[in-house]
Amino acid sequence: MTVNPLLAQYANIAAYSAILVLAAAMVGFVVDLARSAARQLTPATAARVPVPAGGSATQPGAGADPGAAPSETVVGEALQGSRQAAGIAIALTWLGASLIVAAAILRGVAVSRVPWGNMFEFSLTGSAAVTVAYLGLSLRRDMRWLGTFVVAPVVLMLGLAVTVFYTEASPLLPSLRSFWLVIHVSIAIVSVALFTLAAAVTVLQLAQSRRERNLVRRGRFMNALPDADTLDRLGHGLHVAAFPLWTFTLIAGAIWAQKAWGAYWQWDPKEVWTFIIWVVYAAYLHARATSGWTTRSANLIALAGYGCIIINYTIVNMYFVGMHSYSGM
Amino acid sequence: MATTQAQTRAADARDEPPITQPRLGPVGWARWAWRQLTSMRTALLLLLLLAVAAIPGSVLPQRNIDAGRVTDYLARHTTIGPGLDRLSLFDVYASPWFASVYLLLLVSLVGCVVPRSRAHWEAMRTGPPRTPARLTRLPVHTEVIVEAGPEEVAAALRGVLRRRRYRLRRAADGDGGAVSAQRGQLRETGNLLFHTALIVVIAAVGARYLWGWRGDVIVPAGQTFASTASGYGTLSPGPFVDTGALPPFSVRVDSMDVTFEDQASGAQFGAPRDFIADTTTTTGPAAAPVRQRLTVNHPLSLSGTSVFLLGNGYAPVVTVRDKQGNILYREPTPFLPQDNNYRSVGAIKVSAAAPKQLGFTGMFLPTATIDPTAGPVSVFPDTRAPALVLTMFEGEMFPGGRPQSVYSLNTAGMTQVRSPDGQPLRLWLTPGKTVTLPGGRGSITLEGVERFAGLSVRYDPGKGLALVGALSALGGLVLSLTIRRRRVFARLEPLTVGAVDEHASNSARPASAAGPAFGQGADSRLRTKVVLAGISKGVDPGLASELDRVVAHLRKTLGLAKAGPEPPSQAGLGHPRE
């Protein structure tokens, strides 16, 4: 178990570069949103863009496959001339994603193991997962509108990683040296990445549905986003994909705990919070299926679940005393 | 005056006789309570309540995890501590209020699963429902005219749907010219499997509480530990465990190797890198001893139990002699680590000393140094400069014969030994050093330092069941979240030849391609209007294209693929009603 400090150094440089590139990408996405708002004002284009400005929620053709395609295509076509900013931003996001992935791989090679042994490494790999998941989604459909809301938290997370969470490259604690570290934590990372995208979409959905009910007039850039129903389907789909992965994380963690500590469950703070997150998202899925609960309430539960993920990652890791004290801080 | 009128109206409303409700007897009320408890809404609220109820246990120290921290907390918070304790906030997961939440949830779960399983079983048995009379009222529908007779089209459509894994309603059910099919019943099966599996997991956890046990023991290197109720430092058996009949086995710790990080700087300096215990185990008087290596993620399996290496520390080997030089005490004595640098506390109890028993209490420091403010501390977890720092007491060590911790000294019946200058006697021992005790009390020697292994023995009869339950739950969850429940209905209507004459001429059927000669010979000008409709459980944006695919496959099966212009009625796709 040797540590290669030079490679670790390169990993840090890649991480810092990724922050710069993604910050630039974020600017691109914001400019694109701002311009799209300006476009709405020009009557020539406004006539061609049937955006539901507080009108009916159901678009003609919204039921066709893929669900979001028609409305987005119309918006996209109308704004095509002005979307270089978004194009540049997507390209920069690809570059940024490659840099984070490179940083994670270099770090992994530097410490000869998987790059998720402490909070710095987890943040790095988690940011890579979120960005790659976003880009993967954007290959299948137009997701440029979501860029700002994905890249901003990623930049924040990376910034925290290289400052607050930073841990020197070093071998693992004995209790972490297990095959289950690979399984349990990698699935946790993918799951959290999907929950992050889902939370971003859900926040936008809540804002959009507020606008559609004519409650708010501000935020004209929201016109460039899909309507609330489309956002809701996307958010729900992401949650549905993430939840079984989180369930698996919970089970794999229990199996590992059985092997390492002799008990699959002993109410360690980290276990408790993983369980709380699971229960809250389970409540979300139930709320979706319960008559009498509005989409809004269900989505608020989902956001509470994401709040629990943040608490689990920050407060629980850093301040609560337990057997998962691996933050490296 | 508007207000008064409104008030009057409200008063009138109050004067009206109340809505007559059915009078509920005890059975009625019980049924009402059961309905409420097993409703989805209640389950949802209980889930949220469970999440909230679990939080305090992660914030406050818990007895089941670390009783020492609870005692510490209570000592530091004398005002709110007892109140919190009365609310079971230091035993959250064993508290009545937490139990009531999950037991209600369990009841709700059972109350949900049982009737739904029955309904699902019934639905599986009966199959798809009758085709509704007016298909155009369904959320998605389409109309298509194909050039074949109704029987031929019906057979082809049934074939297409069957290939697309739909379950069909039997044609014999007397619903002439109609097709009814459904798919995705596995979704409900998965859902029920998930919820049933959760009940299994809860049962497995219950089995662990009732029949499982856990014993912890500290074994210095070179010593043997035998699994009997009295052999353990602490033993926590479930209520149904016979502690007189624990499975017999013994573990000798041959050596205990620990390495610590001494290269990296910062927080990683001194972090543990390896814990390895080499052991010799036997599982009975007749069994041959087996040499096995025990490490952190690799427990031993002995007589149905699992033995885990959960801790380590130092056991200074101390010899105490009386003034004639007779050995009163010679043992590796485990000291419990208190921090990451293994500042360890413990006690040496020389009960054989006469006329007064002697007790030593203090610290073992693997890399000792004197900090100007904190006093003696350890600065590295490995034994770079070990020292044993002790104070000494004499008197009666076990007043009243009450049991006490082996790691601390009960000084209630003892007095502290002072050095000739009147200060409390303080001993600083390094390996090999002997100190003569004042007042002819003999001498004390630190012979050397052994490591000890902290072993934890667990027996959990429910763990296999818990694993099976958890994995089934995951499987059921995936089924219930990924499968769509769809129903497709069709009504077929023969068209008279004359009405659609012009279509017949321009959509010639390729005679060779699709082979089947039926229909071809009989009357190639036969036509059928097919009204197809679909409905899904929940939001299903892909339903319309599913119908399109069914139509495309139907045309292909009938040999009509790519033949002729797009049929005019194809465009009539409806849209899901929200």
Mean pLDDT of the B2-9 span: 45
**CB distance B297–A259 less than 8 Å?**
yes
**Number of domains observed in the structure of chain B:** 4
Backbone angles phi, psi at A258, to 5 degrees: -60, -40
CA of A24 vs chain B CAs: smallest distance (Å)? 33
Residue B3 lies in a domain: no
Residue whose C-alpha is closest to residue B547's, from B566, B559, B531, B561 = B531
pLDDT(B517) > 50: no
Q: What's the pLDDT score for residue A320?
A: 74
Q: Single out the residue in B65, B84, B114 at which a domain terminates.
A: B114
**CB distance B62–A58 less than 8 Å?**
no
Place of tokens 């976003």: A134
**CB distance A280–B92 less than 8 Å?**
no
The pLDDT tens digits for A190-203 are: 999 999 999 999 99
**CB distance A262–B310 less than 8 Å?**
yes
pLDDT(A234) > 50: yes
Task: Indicate if B235 and B110 belong to the same structural domain.
Answer: no
Q: What's the pLDDT score for residue A248?
A: 95
Mean pLDDT estimate for chain A: 80
Q: Give the mutation candidate from B45, B58, B300, B338 for the A interface (greatest A CB count, under 10 A).
A: B58
Backbone angles phi, psi at A90, to 5 degrees: -65, -45
In chain B, the residue whose alpha carbon lies closest to the alpha carbon of A266 is B65
The pLDDT tens digits for B373-389 are: 888 888 888 888 899 99
Q: What's the pLDDT score for residue B7?
A: 46
**CB distance B268–A292 less than 8 Å?**
no
DSSP assignment, residue B387? E
Question: For residue B572, how many other CB atoms are within 10 A of its CB?
Answer: 12
CA of B88 vs chain A CAs: smallest distance (Å)? 15
Mean pLDDT estimate for chain B: 81
The pLDDT tens digits for B227-268 are: 888 888 888 888 888 888 888 888 999 988 888 887 776 667
Tokens of B358: 């002697």
Please name the member of B48, B463, B578 whose beta carbon is closest to the beta carbon of A264: B463
Chain B contact present for A81, CB below 8 A: no
Least confident of A293-307, B296-310, B514-528: B514-528
Q: Which residue has the higher pLDDT, B175 or A75?
A: B175
- In order, the DSSP letters of B362-424 are EEEETBEEEETTTEEEESSSS-SB-EEEEEEEEE-SSGGG----TTS---TTEEE-B-TTSSB
Mean pLDDT of the B71-83 span: 85
Residue B401 lies in a domain: yes
CA of A121 vs chain B CAs: smallest distance (Å)? 14
Q: How far apart are CA B313 and CA B334, in angstroms?
A: 7
Structure confidence at residue B338 as a pLDDT band (50, 70, 90): confident
Residue B152 lies in a domain: yes
In chain B, the residue whose alpha carbon lies closest to the alpha carbon of A312 is B58
Task: Indicate if B500 and B363 belong to the same structural domain.
Answer: no
Mean pLDDT of the B169-173 span: 71
Q: What's the pLDDT score for residue B360?
A: 92
Chain B contact present for A321, CB below 8 A: yes
Residues B435/B443, Cβ–Cβ less than 8 Å: yes
Please name the member of B62, B299, B541 whose beta carbon is closest to the beta carbon of A267: B62
**CB distance A260–B458 less than 8 Å?**
no
Task: Indicate if B489 and B431 belong to the same structural domain.
Answer: no
Task: Indicate if B385 and B526 belong to the same structural domain.
Answer: no
Residue B15 lies in a domain: no
H, E, C per residue of A103-153: HHHHHHHHCCCCCCCCHHHHHHHHHHHHHHHHHHHHHHCCCHHHHHHHHHH
CA of B565 vs chain A CAs: smallest distance (Å)? 22
CA of B296 vs chain A CAs: smallest distance (Å)? 6
Task: Indicate if B467 and B567 belong to the same structural domain.
Answer: no
Q: How far apart are CA A83 and CA B509, in angstroms?
A: 48
Q: How far apart are CA B414 and CA B403, in angstroms?
A: 16
Chain B contact present for A308, CB below 8 A: yes
Q: Give the mutation candidate from A4, A240, A251 for the B interface (greatest B CB count, under 10 A).
A: A251
Alpha-carbon Rg for chain B, nearest whole angstrom, is: 40
Q: Which residue has the higher pLDDT, B181 or B511?
A: B181
Q: How far apart are CA A39 and CA A29, in angstroms?
A: 15
Backbone angles phi, psi at A107, to 5 degrees: -60, -45
Residue B311 lies in a domain: yes
Q: What's the pLDDT score for residue A276?
A: 92
**CB distance B541–A63 less than 8 Å?**
yes
Against a cut of 0.80, is the pTM above it? no
**CB distance B40–A329 less than 8 Å?**
no
Q: Give the mutation candidate from B297, B482, B575 for the A interface (greatest A CB count, under 10 A).
A: B297
Which residues on B lie below 8 Å from A327 (Cβ)? Answer: none
pLDDT(B481) > 50: yes
Q: What's the pLDDT score for residue A77?
A: 46
Q: How far apart are CA A282 and CA A288, in angstroms?
A: 10
Q: What's the pLDDT score for residue A181?
A: 84
Residues A303/B50, Cβ–Cβ less than 8 Å: no
Least confident of A196-205, B139-148, B518-527, B553-562: B518-527
Q: What's the pLDDT score for residue B525?
A: 67
Q: How far apart are CA B391 and CA B387, in angstroms?
A: 13
Q: Which domain holds residue B85?
A: 31-114
Task: Indicate if B427 and B518 belong to the same structural domain.
Answer: no
Least confident of A17-26, A31-40, B35-44, B564-573: B564-573
Place of tokens 């029987």: B151
Question: For residue B36, how many other CB atoms are within 10 A of its CB?
Answer: 11
pLDDT(B21) > 80: no
Which residues on B lie below 8 Å from A301 (Cβ)? Answer: 48
Q: Which residue has the higher pLDDT, B359 or B147?
A: B359
Q: What's the pLDDT score for residue A258?
A: 86
Residues B130/B176, Cβ–Cβ less than 8 Å: no
Task: Indicate if B270 and B385 belong to the same structural domain.
Answer: yes
Structure confidence at residue B8 as a pLDDT band (50, 70, 90): very low
Residue B12 lies in a domain: no
**CB distance B51–A233 less than 8 Å?**
no
Alpha helices in chain A (DSSP H): 5-41, 43-48, 69-79, 84-110, 119-140, 147-163, 179-180, 186-212, 228-261, 269-289, 295-311, 317-319
Tell me whether 0.90 is exceeded by the ipTM.
no
Residue B317 lies in a domain: yes
Q: What's the pLDDT score for residue B175?
A: 64
Structure confidence at residue B10 as a pLDDT band (50, 70, 90): very low
pLDDT(B570) > 80: no
Please name the member of B51, B310, B478 whose beta carbon is closest to the beta carbon of A261: B310
Mean pLDDT of the B166-183 span: 78
Structure confidence at residue B502 as a pLDDT band (50, 70, 90): very low
Residues B219/B231, Cβ–Cβ less than 8 Å: no
CA of B470 vs chain A CAs: smallest distance (Å)? 7
Q: How far apart are CA A111 and CA B136, in angstroms?
A: 64
In chain A, the residue whose alpha carbon lies closest to the alpha carbon of B271 is A173
Q: What's the pLDDT score for residue B42?
A: 85
Q: Single out the residue in B422, B451, B480 at which a domain terminates.
A: B480
Task: Indicate if B42 and B151 belong to the same structural domain.
Answer: no
Least confident of A266-270, A319-323, B4-8: B4-8
CA of A95 vs chain B CAs: smallest distance (Å)? 32
Residue B177 lies in a domain: yes
**CB distance A286–B264 less than 8 Å?**
no
Q: Which residue has the higher pLDDT, A276 or A321?
A: A276
Please name the member of A233, A287, A289 whose beta carbon is closest to the beta carbon of B541: A233
pLDDT(A305) > 50: yes
Kindly state the percentage of chain B with pLDDT values over 90.
13
pLDDT(B5) > 50: no
Q: What's the pLDDT score for residue B270?
A: 77
Helix (H, G, I), strand (E, B) or coil at B28: helix
Which residues on A lie below 8 Å from B65 (Cβ)? Answer: 266-268, 322
Task: Indicate if B349 and B360 belong to the same structural domain.
Answer: yes
**CB distance B478–A251 less than 8 Å?**
no
Task: Indicate if B394 and B509 belong to the same structural domain.
Answer: no
User: How buried is residue B203: exposed, middle or buried, by Cβ count under 10 Å (0-12/13-18/19+)?
Assistant: middle
The pLDDT tens digits for B139-161 are: 888 888 888 877 888 888 888 88
A-B CB pairs within 8 A amount to 165
Q: How far apart are CA B199 and CA B212, in angstroms?
A: 19
The pLDDT tens digits for A134-166 are: 999 899 888 888 888 999 999 999 998 888 888
Please name the member of A170, A243, A265 whose beta carbon is closest to the beta carbon of B264: A170
The pLDDT tens digits for A9-62 are: 888 899 999 999 999 999 999 888 888 766 655 544 444 444 444 333 333 333
Structure confidence at residue B492 as a pLDDT band (50, 70, 90): confident
Task: Indicate if B519 and B531 belong to the same structural domain.
Answer: yes
**CB distance B266–A168 less than 8 Å?**
yes
Chain B contact present for A121, CB below 8 A: no
Mean pLDDT of the A254-267 span: 85
Residues B446/B405, Cβ–Cβ less than 8 Å: no
In chain A, the residue whose alpha carbon lies closest to the alpha carbon of B473 is A247
pLDDT(B520) > 80: no
Q: Which amino acid belongs to residue A308? A: C
**CB distance B44–A66 less than 8 Å?**
no
Task: Indicate if B143 and B271 belong to the same structural domain.
Answer: no
The pLDDT tens digits for A91-132 are: 999 999 999 999 999 998 888 888 888 888 888 999 999 999
**CB distance B51–A279 less than 8 Å?**
yes
Helix (H, G, I), strand (E, B) or coil at B125: helix
Instruction: Kindly report the CATH number assigned to the domain that includes residue B510.
Output: 3.30.310.80
pLDDT(A249) > 90: yes
CA of B554 vs chain A CAs: smallest distance (Å)? 20
- Compute the half-sphere exposure of residue B215: CA atoms within 13 Å on the CB side of its CA: 22
Q: Which residue has the higher pLDDT, B5 or B365?
A: B365
Q: Single out the residue in B88, B114, B140 at which a domain terminates.
A: B114
Chain B contact present for A259, CB below 8 A: yes
Q: How far apart are CA A113 and CA A203, in angstroms?
A: 36
Alpha-carbon Rg for chain A, nearest whole angstrom, is: 21
Tokens of B456: 């934890």
Q: What's the pLDDT score for residue A41?
A: 52
